[in-house]
Structure 1
Amino acid sequence: MGKLIGYAHVSTKAQDADRQIKDLIAAGVRRDDLYVDHGVSGARASRPAFDRALDALHEGDTLVITTLDRLGRSTVNMLSLAEQLRSKGINLRVLNLGGGNVDTATPMGSMVFTVMAALAQMELEIKRERVTDSVTKRRAAGGDLGGRRPAFTDSQIENARRLIDAGQPATHVARDLGMSRATLYRRIADLDVKQWMKIQKG
């Protein structure tokens, strides 16, 4: 009977893999056969501990992971890796699929794996959309997103003022510029002062 090789990973060093490790041990993986990547994105082609886990696998062994996204972050990547394992006679066991082996050597196993890989990628895309939506809402509310703020020219601020004077809601104009209404009004006031000083000098 082959060995069980367990792999866990967390994307940031602030996260911990304790739950994954606990589940892998409960599934029969020995601590000596556990490989964990900390602070390494699943999107990276090379993951040190994952590479060592693959090197430790031999024909008849089983790679055990807790969730399918531990294997990779794209359907193509997951399927490619599964094919590599199958060609070497290595099984794959995903604990969130009921603890059974996903046997990619059979038509049914290949179908199940393909569907689950696609679902894992879809779940990741949904998470990304939620983050993007959150950022958009914070920007619309004038929240500080960090990083360098966009620079706006005087003509852009002047155009914004014209839109407001023409009846456009200031909140909508500010949102389109990626700033809060208060910030837009402050920029308009700064522009007024700048223009007044230019007139005085002229």
Structure 2
Amino acid sequence: MGRLIGYARVSTRVQDTDRQVKDLIAAGVRRDDVYVDHGISGGLSRRPQFDRALEALHEADTLVVTTLDRLGRSTANMLTLADTFRGQDINLRVLNLGGGNVDTGTPMGSMVFTVMAALAQMELEIKRERVNDSNTKRRAAGMDLGGRRETFSDSQISNARRLIEQGQPASHVARDLGMSRATLYRRINNLEARDWLATHPVPIPSPLQDVADPGPSEPVSVSPADQ
């Protein structure tokens, strides 16, 4: 019977792997045979401790992880890894997969792993699609997506105004720019106002011109009664 090699991973350094390590040890993995990556995303190809865990595996050994996503985020990569293990007579055991303990060393476990890996990838794609759909709706409504707002030059706004004047729907032009129609019209109005002021300068009166010239003073006649 081969050894059990455990692997744990967290995506950020502030997360704790203690729970994963405890579960691996409870499953029979020796503490010295547990490899942990801190602050490493599953999407990265380079995971130092994961690579060390793979190097420690030999024929008849079993790699043990707590959940499927500890291996990575791509179904293709996970299935390729499982196929590689089968070719080397190495087993893969997931402690919590589909609510149970799955070991690819058994025919049923191998089938369940393939199905659950595909479902995990599908769930990830659904989440990504929801995020993209939400961002599209927020962008169409002119809402801030939380990141740095994109700036547009006067030339881009002028081109957009020209396209609208040529008959293209304003909503389509705004969508191509990544802004709402209301925002586009506001930018066009601001640009037109600046253009008008540039060609129609407003005269600024001199402070001396603000005081009316009273003209020459007239002599005041005094009647005899006033004397």
Runs of 4 or more, structure 1, over 4 Å off, are 159-163, 172-176
- TM, length-normalised to structure 2: 0.70
Q: Distance in 1 between matches of 2:133 and 2:20?
A: 29
Higher helix proportion, which one? 1
| CA displacement 1:10-51 (0-9 Å, x = unmatched) | 233344334323322332223322212222222222211100
The answer to whether the aligner puts 1:64 opposite 2:64 as a matched pair is yes
Larger RCO, structures 1/2 (Cα 8 Å, 6+ apart): 1
- Give the stretch that moved more between structures: 14-23 or 43-52: 14-23
Is residue 151 from structure 1 mapped to residue 132 from structure 2 by the alignment? no
Please give the alpha-carbon distance, in whole angstroms, between the structure 2 residues aligned to 1:7 and 1:44. Answer: 16
**Which shows bigger deviation, 192-201 or 28-37?**
192-201
> Of residues 76, 82, 103 in structure 1, which corresponds to 2:105?
103
Q: How far, CA to CA, are the matches of 1:119 and 1:113 in structure 2? A: 10
Deviations 1:82-117 (A, max 9, x none): 12222222221111231241226x4x4443222122
Q: Which residue does 1:17 correspond to in 2? A: 17
Counterpart code for 1:158: R
Contact 1:157 1:187 in 2 (8 A): no
The structure whose Rg is larger is 2
1:1-202 maps to which residues of 2 (within 5 A)?
1-97=1-97, 98-103=100-105, 106=107, 108-141=108-141, 142-147=143-148, 149-151=150-152, 153-158=156-161, 177-180=177-180, 183-200=183-200
Could you tell me the TM-score, scaled by structure 1's length?
0.78
Give the counterpart letter for 1:47 in structure 2.
R
Residues 23 and 150 of structure 1: is their aligned pair in 2 closer, same or farther, counting only changes over 3 Å?
farther
1:185 positional shift: 4.7
- Indicate how the Cα distance of structure 1 residues 144 and 123 shifts in structure 2: closer, same or farther if over 3 A, else same: closer
Q: Which runs of 5+ in 2 are unaligned?
A: 202-227
Look up the equivalent residue of 1:16 and give its one-letter code.
Answer: D
SS of 1:29's equivalent?
Answer: coil
Residue by residue over 1:115-163, the C-alpha shift from the partner in whole angstroms, topping out at 9 and shown as x without a partner, is 1221121111112112222322332341143246152513244258769
- Structure 1: state its 5+ residue gaps: none
RMSD of the TM alignment (CA)?
Answer: 3.0
